[in-house]
Amino acid sequence: MPELPEVEVVRRGLAEHVTGRQIGDVVVAHPRAVRRQPGGAAEFAGRLRGRTLLDARRRGKFLWLATDDPDLVMSAHLGMSGQFRVAQAQPELHARVGLDLGGQQLWFVDQRTFGWVAAEELVVDRHGQRVPGSVAGIALDAADPALNATAVARVMRSRNVAIKRLLLDQSIVSGIGNIYADESLWRARVHPEAPAPRLSVPRLVSLLAAAKEVMAESLAAGGTSFDRLYVNVNGASGYFSRGLAVYGRAGQPCPRCARPIRRVTFMNRSSHFCSNCQRRPRAQD
């Protein structure tokens, strides 16, 4: 359940269900799930066995669980289809990694295997925050109160690319994926292919505010899920798909002006927008 609100739903579920639990046996059922772990499955299991899980943290789409070793965390990225499930036994399909937590088990389940888990050290990043090594290059997320939207807007204006590409660039601002990029652009009335330097700083700041807003609304609804692939640690789905204005609504009326929503291929994926509300800036400066 890839984007910020969905990952936050998972983080909350983990915080509720695994905090204070001690790790017993560790099973790596599919080695690809630990491909980012130096030393592979043996190292992953060896580092975590016996440790107690503490806080669940998140930045953008990256998750990590603190442990009673202050330098060691279990980090994870859900990729396109990763889930954490609290269960009494190994899930039948796509179970990749399991932790025995005494009386219950925590499973990383991932149909498409783009997700991963790792046991890694904390490092101090450029914001002075302690984060897993794999997260050090990831920008603060769009919902973080510490995010300086004006500074992000200036970085965006310095790049001569389509604005949607920058919204999806996790090193500029993190947590936004294809769904919320389209939704934010629609709210802020910005064309997805508008070159960033053609947009003013205030316009970009309002775009970032729109992203924060739409993701907060989604989180309040439990996130967006279209099917069983995207569920929280209990297997429950979120309801924000009803709140989407453009994503997945090609041909349906724009909620603002009733003209049909367009879908185009951009960056090898789909973009949904209203060509009436979201005008492409003129080529002339």
Partner DNA sequence: CGAGTATCCTGTCCGC
Partner DNA sequence: TGCGGACAGGATACTC
What CA–CA distance (Å, rounded) separates 2 from 180? Answer: 11
The token pair that represents 71 in the structure block: 């330098």
Among 216, 219, 276, residue whose Cα is nearest residue 246? 276
Q: Name the one range near DNA by CB under 7 A: 17-25, 46-54, 123-131, 266-274.
A: 266-274
Q: Which residues are catalytic?
A: 2-3, 61, 269
Instruction: State the number of binding residues for DNA (CB under 7 A).
Output: 39
Task: Name 250's Cβ contacts closer than 8 Å, sequence gap at least 6.
Answer: 260, 261, 262, 263, 272
Residue 278 as a binder of DNA (CB under 7 A): the answer is no
With CB under 7 A as the contact rule, the residue among 111, 129, 275, 276 that binds DNA is 111
The token pair that represents 192 in the structure block: 């997805």
- Closest approach, Cβ 241 to DNA, in A, equals 8
Q: Name the one range near DNA by CB under 7 A: 39-47, 204-212, 267-275, 277-285.
A: 267-275
Nearer to DNA, 256 or 269 (CB): 269
Q: What angle do CA 223, 145, 69 make, to 5 degrees?
A: 80
What CA–CA distance (Å, rounded) separates 40 from 29? Answer: 12
- Closest approach, Cβ 278 to DNA, in A, equals 18
Dihedrals φ, ψ of 64, to 5°? Answer: -150, 150
Residue 224 as a binder of DNA (CB under 7 A): the answer is yes
Q: Name the one range near DNA by CB under 7 A: 48-56, 144-152, 201-209, 219-227.
A: 219-227
Burial tier of 282 (Cβ tally within 10 Å: 0-12, 13-18, 19+): exposed
Residue 75 as a binder of DNA (CB under 7 A): the answer is no
Q: Which residues bind DNA (CB under 7 A)?
A: 1-3, 6, 32, 60-61, 77, 79-80, 93-94, 111-114, 134, 159-162, 165, 168, 170, 177-179, 223-227, 229-230, 265, 267-270
